[in-house]
Amino acid sequence: MKTRTFILAAALGVCASMSAADITAVYTKKVDVGCDAHHPTLSPNGEVVLFTSEDYTGLKSFNLSTQEKSVIDQSPKAGFYPRFTADGNEIVYRTSIKEDGVSRDDVKRYSFVSNDKTQLMKHSKAVVNTPALVADTYAFAFAKKQAMEVSINGVKHEINPIEYGYRYLWPAVSPSATKLVFNEIYSGLFVSNVDGTEAKFLTSRGEFPCWVDDRFVVALSTKDDGYVITSAKIIAIEVATGKITELTDDSVRVDGLTAVEDKIVYTTEEGEMYVMNILINE
């Protein structure tokens, strides 16, 4: 009887460990940053949000605690996917100029402590992507149409996780730098190991995906009429089980989002910013 009881308890334990968790939106509030806000990026501690204009011109920061806004850079493309260091004290971003009709990008580093800017890479015709610091690891991934390039501590390798992949979008490395979430334009949203192995389908529509933690990703689930997007709602997906939780309805036209463990910040097509506090239900 003891053996049978032990086996039953063990089986129940396995079932419990595989049970789905979800994310609940506790409350959502609008944040007045005094100007239009698009394409947000949250600091690791969730206190500071970077944002830019609709076409990525300029880069600003807003402290959600002090309500203080700062202009970091007013250059073209300065708001194109800036990256925080792990301590949140610095960011790495790029700017763009045109010389003889050709776009040239550079890479800059900005310190919130000293307000100093340092140019890490001069303007070049090369495709430039800013690295993200994940824990003590420099990790970055970017799409190259029919493949993605993943860089871990400067070691780059090209991956093509889906055999029939035609075009990849929005790859993002997980907080532990072990997983990758990405979108394949015709197939939907997937996760894989950072080396491209064990690709797993999550959902058919998932734009601007980002990690809440290693267990959850959030993304936009959109609908279109064949020409333009007609609705977009924020969804959370538990990677292990594939369970999807809708966090907003489709009445808000979301155009960008970012997340950390306890909150999601999103912006709308009208340039409004919202902060959603979330709770993970085990």
Provide the total of helices (H) and of strands (E) in the chain, helices listed first: 1, 24
pTM: 0.81
* ∠ CA 10-15-17, rounded to 5°: 95
H or E element at residue 2:
helix 2-18
**DSSP helix, strand, coil percent of the chain (3-state; round to 5):** 5, 55, 40
Tell me the per-residue pLDDT of 196-239, one tens digit each, with 9 for 90 and over: 999 999 999 898 899 999 999 999 988 777 777 777 889 999 99
Tell me the per-residue pLDDT of 5-41, one tens digit each, with 9 for 90 and over: 333 333 334 343 445 677 888 999 999 999 999 999 9
Tell me the per-residue pLDDT of 59-111, one tens digit each, with 9 for 90 and over: 999 999 999 999 999 988 888 888 888 788 888 888 887 777 777 777 788 99
Q: Is the pLDDT of residue 119 over 90?
A: no
Instruction: Give the C-alpha separation, 260 to 278, whole Å.
Output: 10
- Check residue 16 and give its pLDDT: 39
Residue type, 243: K
Cβ within 8 Å of residue 24, ≥6 positions away: 245, 278, 279, 281
